[in-house]
Structure 1
Amino acid sequence: MNQPLTATPHRPAALDPRSLGRPVHLLPQVAQRLREALQRLLVQPWNRRYHSRHELHALTLRPLDTAPQETGESPRWLRATGPSGLLACHIDRPLVLALMAKRLGLGADTALATADTPPTATEDRLLHLLAGQFAGLCVQWLAQASRPDAEGPQDLTPENDPPPLQGGALPAFGPDGWELVASLRDGDQEASISLALSGAYLLPLLRQLSARQRPSRTAAQQQPLDRRLALTLQARLLERELDLGAVLDLRPGTLIPIRLADATVMVEGSPLMSAAVAEHQGKLCLTSFQDLE
């Protein structure tokens, strides 16, 4: 007997806590400004020093994907403890080898190493130098962009003595890690640099972006609610019943004798309070307010 097929229950996608209540939609604008700064302050000096023509054509700032990689070799990361916590940098090996080859005056097709060749001391020193410069400038830029007056150009300088970097696997950043990925292109060759950051580096920037998006409160909006909420009061002074004949006999100048009793104070047509009617300097005024039952 065939068993009935049961549909697999759909599991809703979990919300990323790094994006809840945060202006993550503004991060592409931040990444574009950072890309321009790195192209000017980092990549162009690399091109002059290593005789290359690299261009930083894309930069992405996103939450760090901590899912384990099922295929491929685990990349080598250089980790350090920066001013706001842990950070780690990974640079594609072909980029390091290409810069080293051009620095040595070798041709672009010269193969300094293969995937199985262990890195030399020269390659390792260049890798640490490039990673230290990239990480240092990114951390400086994020710190300056978190300031309220960070709209103008920022004065960044590569650190002469970056924190010591140690090689290994990607460290555990916890649930609040972020990743900055820069894509470089030199002709047909492409390579990437990744910088994993603790959430403490991004938190001041996200707060600053949120404050810029929040509309400024006027002096009236800063007052308590009972001072900002405006209500229209209407006072019903009296009611007088007249028969139809008396209404038809009304003429200009006709006087209708009345006696003012307590007035009913209404808000949007709903009776709210009663008040006594008094005369003050030739004007009728309401006084002695009492709540209606």
Structure 2
Amino acid sequence: MNSNSRSGDRVASRVLDASALGRPVHRLDAFADRLAKDLAEAFRGGVNRRYRAAFDLRSVSIDRTGQAGDLIRWTAYSGETGRILFAAERPLVLTLLGYRFGLIGRSGAAAPAQADGNGRATATEERVAVALGEELAAVVAARIEAGDLDRPLDAVATPAFSIAPAPPPAAGAWTLSCTVADPLLGEDCRMWFVLDDACMDRLLRGLAPPREKKDAAGADTPFAHRLQMTLTGRLLSRDIQLGELFDLRVGDVIPVFVGEADVLVDDSRLFTAAVAEHRGKLCLTSFNDMD
């Protein structure tokens, strides 16, 4: 059965991108699954623990998709791994704001701030959204930097960001779409991380198999410098009678004369060379091609 015919297959729905041919795009879904665990742990150990909230990250997917929903604003987090844009739907930010300022409790009603959810976003909402984005974008950047999906994030240095408001991303940008639930949200909310070209290049290089990483690292070196060959210098050979060989004793001297040496690659004789002495070592010089 052709696996691409299965309904709901995320790989089947991905549009072919000519610029990604030959790159490990097929491993992006595995990256998204691993990132979902990282972000879920970030919620549990961060927002949920600090504010006694109950946010649950349900899913993460990555694709070139558009964004929709009532957003607070887009914010850019720029660091060594590249530039990450973040936005979240307003009900998610309002619920977090309610937890943060004690406007709602574990068994309480919806935050009073949500009553004004159709109005203009306040400066406080924007600050809460920016703080949430910074905390979670650091997780995304660290997972990209880790490369190996099995590598724990505590083994990766915490990235530093410069933060600034940003316009909405261009259509077709690589986007991590996340679904978040909370008992007080009613419906699941979404948030998005948009990765720039530098982030995607770093991510795809990290997802490449070790052999491809090695090939990519040496791609800038000329082929003639990357090709490794073993040269063998055969200084001399001499025929000797079997009887003379049996008559040899310790201390006997076999007179020889070292002329030109044969230079071989494997068993193929490619050059002849003169034998010279330099600082107490024999060296080969004056190479001549063999016809």
TM bucket normalised to smaller: 0.5 to 0.7
Structure 1 runs of 4+ off > 6 angstroms? Answer: 72-75
1:179 is matched with: 175
2:18 counterpart SS class: coil
In structure 1, what residue type is equivalent to 2:62?
A: L
2:87 counterpart SS class: strand
2:202 is matched with: 204
1:27 is matched with: 28
Structure 1 residue 74: Cα displacement: 7.5
Larger Rg: 1
Select the residue among 120, 124, 133 that pairs with 2:135: 133
Q: Distance in 1 between matches of 2:158 and 2:88?
A: 17
How far does the alpha carbon of each residue in 1:180-204 deviate from its partner, in whole angstroms, 9 at most, with x for none? 1121111343111101111211223
Q: Distance in 2 between matches of 1:14 and 1:122?
A: 39
Q: Distance in 2 between matches of 1:212 and 1:14?
A: 26
2:192 is matched with: 194
In structure 2, what residue type is equivalent to 1:55?
A: D
1:78 counterpart SS class: strand
Structure 1 residue 212: Cα displacement: 4.2
Comparing both structures, which one devotes a greater share of its residues to helix?
A: 2
Q: Distance in 2 between matches of 1:97 and 1:75?
A: 10
1:121 is matched with: 123
1:62 is matched with: 63
1:17 is matched with: 18
Structure 1 residue 213: Cα displacement: 7.6
2:163 counterpart SS class: coil
In structure 1, what residue type is equivalent to 2:208?
A: S
1:104 is matched with: 101
Structure 1 residue 15: Cα displacement: 4.0
Is residue 132–residue 163 contact of structure 1 (8 Å, CA) maintained in 2?
A: no
Q: Distance in 1 between matches of 2:132 and 2:71?
A: 20
Alpha-carbon RMSD across the aligned residues, in angstroms, is 3.4
Taking structure 1 as the reference length, the TM-score comes to 0.57
In structure 2, stretches of 5+ residues that fail to align are 1-13, 216-226, 230-291
In structure 1, what residue type is equivalent to 2:110?
A: D
Taking structure 2 as the reference length, the TM-score comes to 0.57
Structure 1 residue 118: Cα displacement: 1.9
Distance 1:37 1:213, change over 3 A: farther
1:39 is matched with: 40
Q: Distance in 2 between matches of 1:99 and 1:21?
A: 42
Structure 1 residue 38: Cα displacement: 1.6
Q: How does 1:1-293 map to 2 (within 5 A)?
A: 15-63=16-64, 65=65, 76-105=73-102, 106=104, 107-113=108-114, 114-145=116-147, 151-155=150-154, 162-166=161-165, 168-172=166-170, 177-187=173-183, 188-212=186-210
How far does the alpha carbon of each residue in 1:209-264 deviate from its partner, in whole angstroms, 9 at most, with x for none? 332486x99xxxx999xxxxxxxxxxxxxxxxxxxxxxxxxxxxxxxxxxxxxxxx
Distance 1:75 1:15, change over 3 A: farther
Q: Distance in 1 between matches of 2:198 and 2:119?
A: 37
Q: What is the aligned-residue identity percentage? A: 28
